[in-house]
Amino acid sequence: MQLSLANKYRPQTFREMIGQQHIIGILEAKMQSESDFMQNYLLTWPRWTGKTTSARILAKAINCLEPIEWNPCNKCANCMAINGSTTLDYVEIDAASHTWVDNIREEILDKALYPPTMLKKKIYVIDEVHMLSKWAFNSLLKTIEEPKWNVCFILATTEIQKVPDTIISRCQVFQFKKVIESEIADHLAEICEKEGFEFQKDALDLIAMISDGGVRDSIKYLDQVSILGKITSENVSKFLWVLSENNVKNFLIIIKTGDKKQIYDAIDQFSQQGIDLFQLAKQVIWIIDKSILEDTDFYLFLSEKFSNILRQIRYYPYPAVLFKMELSPLNSQTSTLTSIPSPSQISTANIQPVSVSSKPVETAILADIQSIPSYEEGQDVWQRVVLSLNEWMLRSNLRDHTILDKLENWVAHLIITNKIAEISLQKAETRSDLEKKLSEIVGEKVILERKFESREDYLARSLDF
């Protein structure tokens, strides 16, 4: 029988578990120590995969007749019985299923009183233990309060915060961590070598990213893609409805142009092809993380947009529309959950780019005054300056995250409310461009003074009379 890769490479010992080195040493030490004979265990994982596999390894390690350095041998009668689920002494229960919740007393706890028939210890694995009812927890607590040397409970959960403290305090707790992408990719590379698959490193990185910490999922994906032959990014994207890294980068180039039509066309095309836009947003963040130094300003700008997308996409019925809203060059503010409505909304249709040759009409009016008295007026002038910049990212970013607080003695006091805007304004070139444009409007040489302040702090301060 041909085993699926996921089953073939399912870990059978502590040593084979990926990314859990911090726990393996302790688990092995526990197995050595006689004093923990009457111990129950609580395994907690950040996600649903891997819990029962770990519980099974632990059960085998406790019962193995010929352990190898405290790891199960997977060959003795006890290991085989647990692996093949052929003994009544090893019971796996899914607490998410109602039948067990209702019958826990009769089905499990009463039976746990009888000694094992085959294994050294009877093992009860209760998966998703946080799903048990209060009543069931009380019954369980009574049972583990009086531990018996020949019965062991292995509880597993993804939500330890929902497990009562009284239970937690009576168990040895092992907190497994989410497996990081590079560990998964390395593991996949090992499998490819063993299986004789030709592969590209990028393709494995992509699979690891999509699997989101699930080792078993990643192996399943690898298995599927291997049907197409070579493991390349192209084949991964064909099979798993994601874009290859090159195509994601091409999309970023389109975003950078600021050409609304091109951006929207690309998004529509992804929708039609059935590309998973949630994965696409994750891929963009992943590329930003890898390549931030290549184009820092642009990537910082993108990171904000795509963080917004990721925050909302799970609750948004039309992901493509969300993409368009966030990536729309002229409308960058509309959907940001955290943004506070701009006090002065000005219609972009009325904005005339400031040019060196033609002085705008308001110059004359503003030249008469030494300061801008109101917030609205300050913002109005500042928005005109910002929106006359050539680069649309900078335009969008400064528009959302800077406020002209006041103009006094031809010094423009600017409040910056976000880190990305602050970084953009660290560039002398950007500042002098802004100063030049502002000077043109005001009719005098103006110098920019910058101050970083959160928008909340700024608003609180300006409302404080």
Q: CB count, 10 Å around CB of 45?
A: 21
Cβ-based neighbours of 289, under 8 Å, separated by 6 or more: none
CA distance 437 to 431: 10
E strand segments, 190-330: none
Size of the site for Zn ion (CB under 5 A): 5
Minimum Å gap between C-beta 86 and Zn ion is 14
Binding segment toward Zn ion, per CB under 5 A, in 62-70, 83-91, 174-182, 379-387: 62-70
The nearer residue to Zn ion, 72 or 319, going by C-beta atoms, is 72
Q: Which stretch binds Zn ion (CB under 5 A): 79-87, 102-110, 346-354, 419-427?
A: 79-87
**CB of residue 30 vs Zn ion: minimum separation in angstroms?**
17
Q: How many CA atoms lie within 13 A of 307 on its CB side?
A: 10
Nearer to Zn ion, 64 or 242 (CB): 64
- What lies within 8 Å, CB to CB, of 282 at 6+ separation is 209, 310
Nearer to Zn ion, 66 or 193 (CB): 66
Joined together, the tokens standing for residue 7 give 């089953």
Q: Residue from 23, 73, 189, 266 that binds Zn ion (CB under 5 A)?
A: 73
Q: How far is the CB of 118 from Zn ion (least distance, A)?
A: 13
79 lies in the site for Zn ion, by CB under 5 A: yes
Spatial contact of 67 and 31, defined as CB atoms under 8 Å apart: yes
Which stretch, 57-65, 196-204, 283-291, 354-362, contacts Zn ion (CB under 5 A)? 57-65
- The answer to whether residue 64 forms part of the interface with Zn ion (CB under 5 A) is yes
**Helices then strands (H, E): number in the chain?**
22, 8
Q: Phi-psi region for residue 111, left (φ > 0), alpha (ψ -120 to 50) or beta?
A: alpha
Could you say whether residue 76 binds Zn ion (CB under 5 A)? yes
Closest CA to 184 of 206, 140, 216, 215: 215
Tell the smallest beta-carbon distance from residue 24 to Zn ion (Å): 18
Q: Does residue 81 belong to the site contacting Zn ion (CB under 5 A)?
A: no
Among the residue ranges 73-81, 158-166, 198-206, 423-431, the one whose residues contact Zn ion (CB under 5 A):
73-81
Confirm or reject binding of residue 123 to Zn ion (CB under 5 A). Answer: no
Task: Please say whether the beta carbons of 82 and 59 come within 8 A.
Answer: yes
Residues that bind Zn ion (CB under 5 A): 64, 72-73, 76, 79
